Chain A
Amino acid sequence: MSAWFDKKIYFDNGSTSWPKAPGVGEAMASFLEQGAFNINRGNYEGAYEVESIVLDTRDKLARLFGCSDSRRVIFTPGITWSLNMFIKGLLLPGDHVIVSGLEHNAVMRPLEQMKEVGVSYDIAPVDESGRLDSEELKKLIKANTKAVIMTQASNVCGTLLPIKDIGKICRERDIFFAVDSAQSAGSIPIEMEEWGIDFLAFTGHKGLLGPQGIGGFLVSEALDKKLKPIIAGGTGSVSDSLIQPKSLPDKYESGTMNLPGIVGLHAALSYLEDIGIDRLQAKKMAVTSHFLSQLNSFSNIRIVGECDVNNRTAVVSVDFGKVDNALCAFTLEQEFGIMTRVGLHCAPTAHRSLHTFPQGTVRFSFGAQNTVEEADRCIEGVQSILERYENLDI
Chain B
Amino acid sequence: MRKKELKLVITFHTTADAMAMEKACKASNVPGRIIPVPRAISAGCGLSWCADLSARDEITAMMAQAGIKEEEIHECMV
Q: Most chain-A CB neighbours within 10 Å: which of B14, B17, B22, B42?
A: B14
A324 at the B interface (CB under 8 A): no
Q: Is A40 a contact of B45 with CB atoms below 8 Å? A: yes
A158 at the B interface (CB under 8 A): no
Contacts of B63 on A, CB cut-off 8 Å? none
Q: Is A48 a contact of B14 with CB atoms below 8 Å? A: no
For the complex, what is the distance from the CA of A56 to the CA of B23, rounded to whole Å?
A: 9
A51 at the B interface (CB under 8 A): yes
A-B contacts, CB under 8 A, total: 67
Q: Is A71 a contact of B17 with CB atoms below 8 Å? A: yes
Q: How far is the CB of B16 from chain A (nearest CB, A)?
A: 6
Contacts of A70 on B, CB cut-off 8 Å? 16, 20
Known: A71-B14, A248-B14, A249-B14. A239 touches B19 (CB 8 A): no
A96 at the B interface (CB under 8 A): no
For the complex, what is the distance from the CA of A70 to the CA of B23, rounded to whole Å?
A: 13
Q: Is B16 a contact of A55 with CB atoms below 8 Å? A: yes
Contacts of A41 on B, CB cut-off 8 Å? 46
Q: Is A250 a contact of B13 with CB atoms below 8 Å? A: yes
Which of B34, B45, B67 lies in contact with A69, CB distance below 8 A?
B67
Contact with A along B7-44 (1 / 0, CB 8 A): 00000011111111011000000000011100000111
Q: In which size bucket is the chain A interface?
A: 20 to 34
A247 at the B interface (CB under 8 A): yes
Contacts of A54 on B, CB cut-off 8 Å? 16, 19
A393 at the B interface (CB under 8 A): no
Contacts of B14 on A, CB cut-off 8 Å? 71, 235, 237, 245, 247-250
Q: Is B23 a contact of A52 with CB atoms below 8 Å? A: yes
Q: Is A52 a contact of B15 with CB atoms below 8 Å? A: no
A230 at the B interface (CB under 8 A): no
Q: Is A237 a contact of B19 with CB atoms below 8 Å? A: no
Q: How far is the CB of B40 from chain A (nearest CB, A)?
A: 14
Contacts of B51 on A, CB cut-off 8 Å? none
Contact with B along A33-73 (1 / 0, CB 8 A): 00000011101000010011011101000000000011100
A6 at the B interface (CB under 8 A): no
Which of A39, A58, A240, A247 lies in contact with B13, CB distance below 8 A?
A247
A238 at the B interface (CB under 8 A): yes
Contacts of B67 on A, CB cut-off 8 Å? 69
Contacts of B35 on A, CB cut-off 8 Å? 43
Contacts A55-B16, A250-B45 known; list 16 others, CB within 8 Å.
A40-B46, A43-B46, A48-B34, A52-B19, A52-B22, A54-B19, A55-B23, A58-B16, A236-B45, A237-B13, A238-B13, A238-B44, A247-B13, A248-B14, A248-B16, A250-B13
List A residues at the B interface (Cβ < 8 Å): 39-41, 43, 48, 51-52, 54-56, 58, 69-71, 235-241, 245, 247-250
Q: 16 pairs across A/B with beta carbons < 8 Å? A: A40-B46, A43-B47, A48-B47, A51-B18, A51-B19, A54-B16, A54-B19, A58-B16, A70-B16, A71-B14, A71-B16, A237-B44, A237-B46, A247-B13, A250-B13, A250-B45
